[in-house]
Amino acid sequence: MAATLGVASSSSNTFTLVSQRPLLLFPPNSITSRPARFRPQSLVCSAATIGAPSTYADDDDIHSLLQILPHDVRDNLLCDSKLDQLLEVTLDMGRLPQAYYYGDSERRYLRKMVVSMEELEYAESAIGEWGGDNRAGIAGTLHRISAIRNKHGKVVGLTCRVGRPLGEEMDMVRDLLEYGKSILFLGRPGVGKTTVMRGISRVLSDQLLKRVVIVDTSNEIGGDGDIPHPAIGTARRLQVPEPWMQHKVMIEAVENHMPEVIIVDEIGTEAEVHACRTIAQRGVMLIGSAHGKKLEDVIKNPTLSDLIGGLQTVTLSDQEARTRNGKKSILERRTAPTFSFLIEMRERHYWIAHRTDKSVDESLLGKKPLVEVRRRDKQFKVVIERWKTED
């Protein structure tokens, strides 16, 4: 996995990528007015806050999300210097509205008055149609709203996740994309997997000129509405009517639309894993994501392990067993992995990259695999440290 876009540092195994372009974002939507009954007394920004240059790039459709929130909550967020780090806002009936931010484990209360059913009903009326997974979007944006319902099906809580169309050049993974091999991303919820899927779709379709098809189960990659968000470039997008149909749409994409690359988010069922293997066997590059923090999580997951080659038990001869501490049976990788590369997104700008076959084999032998550490330094340059022992 040598870095093709880097220059060697004093250490022969460390590369710093040259690209350090600023983040370029897409045009914003405007704020629309709200009915008077939803205008509690607003919080007032200080003159210093209003007059100072905003630290927030107003180009990620954030206003489309803010306009479904209670007016005083929206005003509070607009005055916040950390708006560009906003991850999600939660509204639960009878509780205080809360905000969560990237890199900050603490929650912030947005006002001293609890959320009312009337405010939830207004927010629900302002968003798109609910899907079978209790998720909805806002047309023309990348934001995601998820519902919490009571036993009667009434919405009593909303999780409003911010979707940002970052225009960076995907330089943390660009060299791997040029290999044309399949890549699986692992990471906890909120670490940025979907954002990476979106950026990769743009780079592959617009810069590497590949025929890219996105299988978009909850419209999180391409945004809500029939016209995909420009953040995905010229990639085409297939929407999925119900979450359980994702594997069928994956196969449909291959059979009907002749893609060179298929991008799919949140692979999690046996049917989806099987669809991935079928697609890979047809020579199509796959870019996918799954929940899990490390390669070890996939190895131990009986559903997902087929993505990294599957496991089988092998009985050893007496002579072989003596060389392996007396073990008569061991686990081995059954076949070639569906994904040639696996990237653990430990943090937003700190990744661990594996050659899947080698890392799986080493792990099954009880050894620590050699990996690449891909991270951004304080100047936002990408640094690649090669052949490190995994932490």
pLDDT tens readout for residues 159-209: 999 988 776 668 899 999 999 999 999 999 888 899 999 999 999 999 999
Of 25-29, 191-195, 228-232, which gets the smallest average pLDDT? 25-29
42: Cβ contacts below 8 Å, ≥ 6 apart: 71, 72, 75
Amino acid at 151: K
Residue corresponding to tokens 């250490």: 11
The pLDDT, as a whole number, for residue 234 is: 96
Alpha-carbon span 43 to 28, nearest angstrom:
23
What is this structure's pTM? 0.76
pLDDT tens readout for residues 73-88: 999 999 988 898 899 9
Q: Are 329 and 314 in contact (CB under 8 A)?
A: yes
- pLDDT score of 21 more than 60: no
